């Protein structure tokens, strides 16, 4: 699970600011620190055919992108609904927003309450979900240091991360007003405090 969180931090550090930065330069660098939570939900309906996967994470962090530090708070939700019997994707939606209320008490607990506008890539339409999720830390926190390089077509990504992570339970609702996409507790969840992280992206 810690590796999943580390991968998430790297993805966030790249996805949020890279588009304008890489357009202007062949090298993009950012450093960051802060608090992160993530919860993964999965369920299959009574027919045994419709599987729903939901990924919820929230960030309260400080970035330094070749300039003065900037504080960033963001909540992100992915929703994927697949008819396994018909091999058809019914919903593939993504949304992000500055959260109305995100509170993290060190690595002990966290709460996220906000509304997020989602875009469904299957139907090409938008809808809004109300998110209310609570995390509770379990087990002992552990410190993890990570250094990795990833090569993909067109760029090289170099990342370093030093943080403390704790597994957690998580539960709550992600609802469009008709359907609660997360009726079951999360099958995996975590809280993290990243002391320092760096991401460098080099265009090739």
pTM reported for the whole predicted model? 0.76
Q: Would you say residue 12 lies in a domain?
A: no
Q: Would you say residue 175 lies in a domain?
A: yes
Number of domains present in the structure of the chain? 1
Q: Would you say residue 20 lies in a domain?
A: no
Q: Would you say residue 26 lies in a domain?
A: no
| pLDDT greater at residue 51 or residue 71 | 51
- As a whole number of angstroms, the distance between CA 129 and CA 131 comes to 6
Token pair belonging to 47: 């027919």
What residue numbers bound the domain in which 93 lies?
A: 36-148+165-195
| pLDDT greater at residue 51 or residue 3 | 51
| Nearest partner of 110 among 34, 7, 197, 9, judged by Cα | 34
Q: Would you say residue 144 lies in a domain?
A: yes
Yes or no: say if 132 and 140 are a contact pair by the CB < 8 Å rule: no
The pLDDT value recorded for residue 161 is 72
Arithmetic mean of pLDDT, 162-188: 94
């Amino acid at each position: 699970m810690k590796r999943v969180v580390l991968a998430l931090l790297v993805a966030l550090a790249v996805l949020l600011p890279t588009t304008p930065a890489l357009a202007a330069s062949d090298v993009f660098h950012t450093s960051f620190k802060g608090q992160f939570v993530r919860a993964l939900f999965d369920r299959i309906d009574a027919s045994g055919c419709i599987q729903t996967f939901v990924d919820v994470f929230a960030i309260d962090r400080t970035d330094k992108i070749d300039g003065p530090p900037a504080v960033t708070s963001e909540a992100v939700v992915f929703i994927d609904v697949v008819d396994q019997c018909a091999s058809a994707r019914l919903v593939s939606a993504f949304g992000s927003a500055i959260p109305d209320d995100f509170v993290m008490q060190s690595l002990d607990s966290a709460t996220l309450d906000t509304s997020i506008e989602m875009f469904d890539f299957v139907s090409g339409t938008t809808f809004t979900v109300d998110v209310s999720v609570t995390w509770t830390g379990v087990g002992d926190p552990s410190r993890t240091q990570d250094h990795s390089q990833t090569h993909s077509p067109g760029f090289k990504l170099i990342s370093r991360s030093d943080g403390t992570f704790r597994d957690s339970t998580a539960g709550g609702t992600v609802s469009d007003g008709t359907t609660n996409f997360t009726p079951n507790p999360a099958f995996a969840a975590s809280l993290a405090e990243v002391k320092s992280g760096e991401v460098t992206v080099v265009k090739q």
